[in-house]
Every structure is written in C-alpha cells, then in structure tokens.
Structure 1
Amino acid sequence: MALDPSTINRFGDELYAALVDGRTIPNLRDRAPGMSIVDAYQVQARMLVHRLAAGETVVGKKIGVTSRAVQQAIGVFEPDFGILTSAMEYADGAEVPWETLIQPKAEAEIAFVLKRDLVGPGVTAADVLAATDHVRACFEIVDSRIDGWDIRIQDTVADNASCGVYVLGADKVDPRDVDLALAGMVAMRNGEVVVTGAGAAVQGSPLNAVAWLANTLGRLGTLLLAGETILSGALGPMFAIEPGDRLTMKVGGIGACSIAFSRESVHA
C-alpha cells in the first residue's frame, strides 16, 4: 500500500530539516513498513521543493547504486537517481567547509554535460553519445542524512540518492574521442592512492548508465535537458574522508579534478 501524502510530506520535510541543520534522522523504511521505491521518489520530490523554494535551481541529475556490490548491499538490482542543484557544485580545487557536511564519503566519476535533450524511453548508448557535449572528471561527495548510513534503497532514494556536493574537472573532452568503458581512474587522498577503477564498473559503460536514466525518467514524464550535468556513477568504491583531506583524481583520456575540505568540524 502506498504511503499517504501526509507521511510523504513529513518525511520530505524531515530530510530537508536534517540537511539544513547538519544532522541525521532515523531510517525511513523501519518507520514506514511497506514503503516502496515510488513512495521514496515522492519523498525526494518533496525534499526538492524545499530546496527550490530556498532559491536553488536544478542543474542536472546523478545516478547512484551502479555497482553490483552496492546493489547487493542495499537490496536492489538497478540504479537510482537524484537531482543536482546549483548549491551542490564547487569549482575544481575548491575547499569545502567541513561543517556544511554531515557524514560524507567520496566517489570518483565521469560527468556528462548534454548539448541536447534526451527523451526516453528508447534511448540507447549511441543516443547518449550523440547528445553529449563533453565529459569531465568528477568527484561526488555523497552525504547521507540517515543515521549511520543505515540505508536500503528506499532510504537513499528518499534522501535524494544521498547527494552531497560535487566538483567537475576543468578539462572538457569529446566522449567520441575516448573509450569510456576502458577509461581507467585513480583517486588519491593526501597524495596516496585509495581507489582505482574503470568505466566498465558503471553498468558496463557510463553510457549505459545515462541511457538507463533517460529511459527511467522518460517513463516518469521527465527529460534530461540540454545543458544539464549528469553524474554517471562511481568508477570504484566510495571511500572515507576526514577534515583537512585533499582529494585528487584522474581519468585516462579525460582529465583530472581535485577537492579539499577544511579542518574545522562542528560534528566532531
């Protein structure tokens, strides 16, 4: 049975308040047994309403849960998605105030910037390639508003796919000039390698992940729009970060990016 509108609104309001206050809340699935993924996306939409009312604008989408290991961990066997807003993007090399985060982790990804709309269903990897203006190296800093990252698919979807902030590299590469499935990634924390991976970790190719998103959104009556940024999913495992860390990553044939974090933490 679908959640009633008042419960959906209450959960969305709670998650937004947790975001603003820099705190976490108990997981949703145990408080609403039978909560479906459809319910969770409705909660996500309610949370987004608050962000837009606060002056943020939608600038793109993110794809999450693309690796088989993560899917098995949270009990789902397809990706999910969240909405990127203007407040989430930092410039390459920027320092993020640690106190604006709650319990962050990092993922190294390839970001797509579209030059024309992608209208699903029926979108193929070739369609994604044709609609992409360029790809860029990207760090996504995921950040759950759920206590202790105690999440299953309903919790992370409701929490805007655990979106935190992200940074795009300066290099812009035509995706037709690189084999995205074979593109190798190395991520470093404070100069030491912490994660390696490749494009094939993302649904066989990041192009497949973006096609999945376009088709999923198309069935929901939503488009991927020209000019939007699409974070296509982690090229390797997400990893822990601490105040004062500096992260750098490189993707073969695409480029590099970096992000740092202040040493201050009000959550310590």
Structure 2
Amino acid sequence: MRLVTSFAAALIALPATALAACPEPAEIERFAADWAAKRPTKGFAVDTLADAGCARDRIVALLERSGGKVVGYKAALTAKAVQERFKANAPVAGILLDTMIVPDGSKVPAGFGARPLFEADMLLVVKDEGINGAKTPDEAMAHISAMRPFIELPDLALAPGEKLEGTQLLSVNAAARLGVVGAVVPLPPGPETVRMLAETRIVMTDGTGAVLGEGLGSATLGNPLNAVVWLAADLAASGRKLKAGDLLSVGSFSALLPPKAGQRVEVRYEGLPGTPKVSVTFE
C-alpha cells in the first residue's frame, strides 16, 4: 500500500480539534510504514482515550490518502471476555475502509498482518441517518436495513511485549485490517427482529466441521443493536455521523484465533432467515 511521503502535509486537511493531544506525526508515519509492511511495531505513548482517538484518526487519514474510502465502523471490546483480555471496561471504535473488505469465500494469506487473528462477527447495515439519534435497540432497529455475515480478520499490529490494552487498541484503529463479508440479509423493523438478533447463535467451524467458537447475539452488550447505539454515540463525540449504507461491525462472538495456512473457516448464523453463512480460506 502506498502511503503519503509527508504526513505534515496531510495534517493541513484535518480539523483543528484533531490536532489536540496526539502522537507526533513522525510516530504516526512510523506506525503506518510498519503496518503497510506487516511488521510488528512499537505502540504509541497514549495515556487517554482522546490521545488514542487522535492517533486512530491520523492513521485513517493516511490510509484514505492512499486510496481507501470509509465504508463503515467497528465496535470493538463489546463482549465481556474480550474486554477482560484487553483489560478494558468499555468498547472502543475503529474505522473500516473499502480496501479492508473482501468477499465471501475469499482466499487470504495466513500472514495477512503483523499479528493476524480471526473471529466471528456480524455487520449491520445503516438504513438512514436517523440511526444517529437512536438510544435503544428498538429505536436503532428502525434505522437498520440488513445484516451481513462477517468474519473479521484483525491485526493486533504491536510487537509482543508491547502494552496492548483498550487505549492502545483504540490508537491502532481497533486492530482493523481485513474482513470477509457475506450476502445481504434483509431485516424487517420491529421488536421481533430485535429479539431475534439477541437470540441468534453464531457458530464458527473449521473445514472439518469442528466448532472453533460460538456465542449468542446477546454477547455484544446484550444485543448487537446496543453496539450500534454505543457506536453512533461514540463517533458523534469525535465529530462523525453514520449515514445510509454504512457497515457496522458489532464485535466478537468467539475467541480471537491465529490463522493457519490451509485452514478453512466458516461462520453461520442460526436463527436468522436461511441460516446465512460466510467463509474464508487461509493460504
């Protein structure tokens, strides 16, 4: 991936508020170069969520200037087990670019990142901008048009031994690297769909059918739609608004596992119409 050669020039287009407490441009450039080369890298010295959010936005600005386009967002650390792993007590938000999205059935290198992992996830598709004012799952459901199966392929990026807790995860764009996306599953608005999303069982298996992990929709803040409500509010705090067509990753329904060459992974959604599924093969 080609990155801009001077990050200082890229800063001109950023809002003044983004220039608050944040890692130095040279540190952002260093991280971006390592990220592009898939090299484990050094973390940022970020002590607050504001610092970490600024680092995230500067990284994404570089990726956008290299040809990426924002197509959605991810709510990370929405499941209790994942929060415990990263010593966090709240989610963090990442930004998804079109260059990160690959289609169902894709073959992806097992070494797709510096510290690659995979997990069962789910995308919800924004129907309209009314989602930005939603405060409850029922209100959010009125502004969601569909679900798409999703195997997220995050990259922890930081070298082993580097501190990697919630704040550091936010600073590296919530580890967003790639994701395998399945077909659109339309979702009718209403309380039945809200309940169905919470009760859906998400099952991840390998090529032999052995279960690698599973969880209920309720694993993400009690309902995937709660992750959407949280994400809209968190993004609003940094000046971003959701729009029609945005893809929203709601979080983990399984443990994060390292990929192996030759491994096939499938995720299915038991309880949703047609039992949708999505798969990826690691090379």
TM-score by length of 2: 0.84
Q: Sequence identity of aligned pairs in percent?
A: 27
Q: Deviations over 1:65-89 (max 9, x none)?
A: 1111222232221101100001100
Matching residue's letter, 1:165:
L
The answer (yes or no) to whether the contact 1:120–1:223 under 8 Å persists in 2 is yes
Residue 193 of structure 1, CA deviation: 1.1
Residue 115 of structure 1, CA deviation: 1.5
Match of 1:20 in 2: 36
Match of 1:186 in 2: 203
Task: Label 1:100 to 1:68 Cα distance change in 2 as closer, same or farther (>3 A).
Answer: closer
Match of 1:266 in 2: none
Task: Label 1:137 to 1:160 Cα distance change in 2 as closer, same or farther (>3 A).
Answer: same
Q: Deviations over 1:202-248 (max 9, x none)?
A: 00000001101111122322111111100111112222221221110
The answer (yes or no) to whether the contact 2:131–2:232 under 8 Å persists in 1 is yes
Return 186-195 or 236-245, whichever deviates more.
Answer: 236-245
Task: Label 1:120 to 1:11 Cα distance change in 2 as closer, same or farther (>3 A).
Answer: farther
Mapping of residues 1-268 of structure 1, within 5 Å: 7-28=23-44, 32=45, 35-118=47-130, 120=132, 123-148=135-160, 150=162, 151-174=164-187, 176=189, 178=193, 179-191=196-208, 192-254=210-272, 255-262=276-283
The answer (yes or no) to whether the contact 1:210–1:230 under 8 Å persists in 2 is yes
The answer (yes or no) to whether the contact 1:12–1:158 under 8 Å persists in 2 is no
The answer (yes or no) to whether the contact 1:120–1:219 under 8 Å persists in 2 is no
Task: Label 1:37 to 1:225 Cα distance change in 2 as closer, same or farther (>3 A).
Answer: same
The answer (yes or no) to whether the contact 1:93–1:257 under 8 Å persists in 2 is yes
The answer (yes or no) to whether the contact 1:11–1:43 under 8 Å persists in 2 is no
Residue 199 of structure 1, CA deviation: 0.4
Residue 175 of structure 1, CA deviation: 5.4
In 2: Cα distance, 1:233 partner to 1:175 partner: 22
Residue 38 of structure 1, CA deviation: 0.8
Return 169-178 or 85-94, whichever deviates more.
Answer: 169-178
In 1: Cα distance, 2:161 partner to 2:223 partner: 27
TM-score by length of 1: 0.88
In 1: Cα distance, 2:217 partner to 2:32 partner: 33
Task: Label 1:35 to 1:172 Cα distance change in 2 as closer, same or farther (>3 A).
Answer: same
Question: Over the residues paired in the alignment, what is the CA RMSD in angstroms?
Answer: 2.0
The answer (yes or no) to whether the contact 1:129–1:207 under 8 Å persists in 2 is yes
SS of equivalent to 1:234: coil
Residue 25 of structure 1, CA deviation: 1.1
Residue 113 of structure 1, CA deviation: 0.9
In 1: Cα distance, 2:132 partner to 2:184 partner: 29
The answer (yes or no) to whether the contact 2:49–2:170 under 8 Å persists in 1 is yes
Matching residue's letter, 1:27:
G
- Structure 2: state its 5+ residue gaps: 1-18
Which structure: greater strand fraction? 1
- Structure 1: state its 5+ residue gaps: 263-268
